[in-house]
């Protein structure tokens, strides 16, 4: 998986309390062109959602597991069909298990954490929570780390996504601003409208 080649350079973050709704959300996102999604392991029956989504979307879909905290989480997610992993940080258990079987976006915020994630073989550094420092903080990090790919996550709406991409992010992760309440049983028509707005808002920046 190459984050720079993702459609709309977006990783949708699906986190919900209803497993059927979470599954429908992943599938709907793919139908509407957001074809890379991570299912947070905090989602109700998250591994079931990943398995079912993999069956529906096929082996080539960019389908991952998020909120991976331990090596056991990683192994279970891989067994369920996840093609990549996303962590909020890097605890000792994950650090000792690196490199993991699957490409991994490792969460980091400070320069020391960025170095640790990179040394552990992160596919990209998940800058989290991105809203804390904003695009200006990403620019500051890229001065000492120009070769490290960053994917900002946390409070990233369409406007912020454009700004982060302009600041040098290879992609962005979007949860509530994009997915809304769909994974909790919310209106899928509203989800489709949000996706259309998202795609339109990012089109100029992504193709620039």
32-72: pLDDT as tens digits: 999 999 999 999 999 999 999 999 999 989 999 999 999 99
115-152: pLDDT as tens digits: 999 999 999 999 999 999 999 999 999 999 999 999 99
CA distance 98 to 87: 12
Higher pLDDT among residues 78 and 94, named by residue: 78
Residue whose C-alpha is closest to residue 121's, from 149, 141, 143, 144: 149
Instruction: Give domain 3-207's CATH architecture.
Output: Alpha-Beta Barrel (3.20)
* 38 catalytically annotated: yes
Q: Which of 32, 101, 126, 205 is catalytic?
A: 126
Q: Is the pLDDT of residue 13 over 70?
A: yes
Q: Which of 5, 32, 38, 113 is catalytic?
A: 38
* 126 catalytically annotated: yes
Name the band, by pLDDT with cuts 50, 70 and 90, for residue 89. Answer: very high
- Residue 205 has what pLDDT? 54
Higher pLDDT among residues 150 and 5, named by residue: 150
Residue whose C-alpha is closest to residue 26's, from 7, 45, 39, 17: 39
């Amino acid at each position: 998986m190459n984050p720079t080649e993702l459609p709309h350079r977006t990783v949708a973050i699906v986190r919900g309390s209803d497993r059927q709704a979470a599954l429908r959300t992943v599938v709907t996102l793919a139908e509407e062109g957001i074809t890379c999604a991570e299912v947070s392991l905090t989602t109700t029956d998250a591994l079931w959602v990943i398995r079912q989504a993999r069956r529906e979307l096929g082996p080539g879909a960019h389908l991952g597991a998020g909120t991976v905290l331990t090596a056991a989480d990683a192994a279970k997610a891989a067994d369920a069909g996840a093609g990549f992993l996303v962590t909020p940080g890097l605890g000792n258990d994950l650090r000792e298990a690196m490199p993991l079987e699957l490409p991994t976006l490792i969460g980091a915020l400070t320069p020391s954490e960025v170095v640790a994630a990179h040394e552990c073989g992160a596919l990209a550094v998940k800058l989290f929570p991105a809203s804390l420092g904003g695009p200006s903080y990403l620019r500051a990090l890229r001065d000492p780390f120009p070769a490290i790919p960053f994917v900002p996550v946390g409070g990233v709406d369409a406007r912020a996504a454009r700004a982060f991409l302009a600041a040098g992010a290879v992609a962005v992760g979007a949860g509530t601003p994009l997915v809304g309440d769909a994974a909790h049983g919310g209106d899928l028509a509203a989800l489709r409208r949000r996706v259309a707005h998202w795609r339109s808002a990012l089109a100029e920046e992504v193709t620039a």
